[in-house]
Amino acid sequence: MTSTILNFGSINIDNVYRVDHFVQPGETLASLSLDIVLGGKGANQSVAIARAGVKVKHIGRACKTDSWVFTQLESCGVDISHVEGVNEPSGHAIIQVDQQGENAIVLHGGANQSFDADDLAKLISKSHAGDYLLAQNECNGLSDMVEMALDAGLKVALNPAPMTAAIRSLPLHRLDTLIVNQGEAQALCDQIEIDDVVSALAESLPQTRVVITLGGDGAILIVGGSVTKVPAFATKVVDTTAAGDTFVGYFLAGLVDGLSDLQALERASEAASLAVQSLGAIPSIPKLEQLNFSNATLPT
Ligand code: RIB
């Protein structure tokens, strides 16, 4: 039976400002444009999974009056039966995107920070051993959710973004999959040089599939002590927002789809390279048919 992916994650309203440069302390800066779009690391990853052709149930919360948020998530192919409308304001993000396509983000958690451990326990009790639980770090209750999912026999995939000190207290050694960027990987093991980071994670998490994304420098896969590096797809960068989320969603969808780790990595890298070519989070996430993905195994 194919695993279901449950994604416990944030839903944000992204206010995306194109700017000449990131605003400096004390400076008032006029933006070049403003787009208001659906985002949030959780929602982005759910949409990436859905656009990769795999079923995903999102567990999340947004303000009940923001009906377009629910409609849009559903129209992207995400099962929203576990997305709750609440009285708290929806989470939102203020995102500056500069001329190089880099971003700087300020978050307001809002409804993403309103979860209750008992409610999460009820949701987990309805899941099946062998299903995937995916999570990021923009919702409260992450530690409870990870522990409950592991105890219920779910495979847990974690993208600990944005990184906080509390992530180090999670049972990372029991995860199925951990996907981190370079900064998150460095913070997890107190190492700076990438070779030292890779050795430290390989040693401390021998049972966990670890992927370190390196932006334009590709990605590193660590499985059972074996390390594989893959290059990035060269591309023109318009906006890097949600490129990492696209990668995470496509990678996990690839695993559920029966791809090998390397094939899933290649598909995720190509999807992320397409995502950086347009502005915004969810609007930039490609559909599977936009990829030229072939099943060729990558060189190690
Ligand atoms: O990863 C990009 C996302 O980070 C944005 O959509 C924003 O909402 C923040 O959560």
Domains of the chain, earliest start first: 5-10+41-85+110-297 (3.40.1190.20)
Two tokens, residue 128: 């099946």
Catalytic site positions: 245
Nearest one of 288, 245, 254, 243 to 5, comparing CA atoms: 254
CA of 11 to the centre of ligand 1 (A): 9
Residues contacting residue 275 through CB under 8 Å, at least 6 positions apart: 242, 243, 246, 284, 285, 286
* Model confidence pLDDT, tens digit, residues 2-56: 678 999 999 999 999 999 999 999 999 999 999 999 999 999 999 999 999 999 9
Query: How far is Cα 86 from Cα 53, in angstroms, rounded to an integer?
Result: 29
* pLDDT (0 to 100) of residue 235: 87
pLDDT score of 187 more than 90: yes
Nearest to 21, CA basis, from 13, 11, 31: 31
Q: Which atom of ligand 1 is least distant from the CA of 95?
A: 7
- Distance, CA of 230 to chain centre: 19
Q: What would the pLDDT profile of 106-141 be if each residue is shown by its tens digit?
A: 999 999 999 999 999 999 999 999 999 999 999 999
* Model pLDDT for residues 202-254, shown as the tens digit of each residue: 999 999 999 999 998 999 999 998 999 999 888 899 999 999 999 999 999 99
Q: Which amino acid is at 277?
A: Q
Cα 257 to ligand 1 centre (Å): 25
- Cβ atoms 73, 80 nearer than 8 A: yes
Q: What percent of the chain has pLDDT over 70?
A: 97
| pLDDT at residue 278 greater than cutoff 70 | yes
Query: At residue 298, does pLDDT exceed 60?
Result: no
Looking at residues 282-300, what average pLDDT do you find? 74
pLDDT of residue 128: 92
Q: Is the pLDDT of residue 295 over 80?
A: no
Kindly report the backbone phi and psi dihedral angles of residue 24, in degrees, each rounded to the nearest multiple of 5, phi listed first. Answer: -100, 160
Q: How high is the mean pLDDT of the chain?
A: 95
Q: Which numbered atom of ligand 1 lies nearest the CA of 14? A: 8
Give the mutation target among 46, 95, 279 for probing the ligand 1 site: most ligand atoms within 8 A of CB.
Answer: 95
Does the pLDDT at position 58 exceed 60? yes
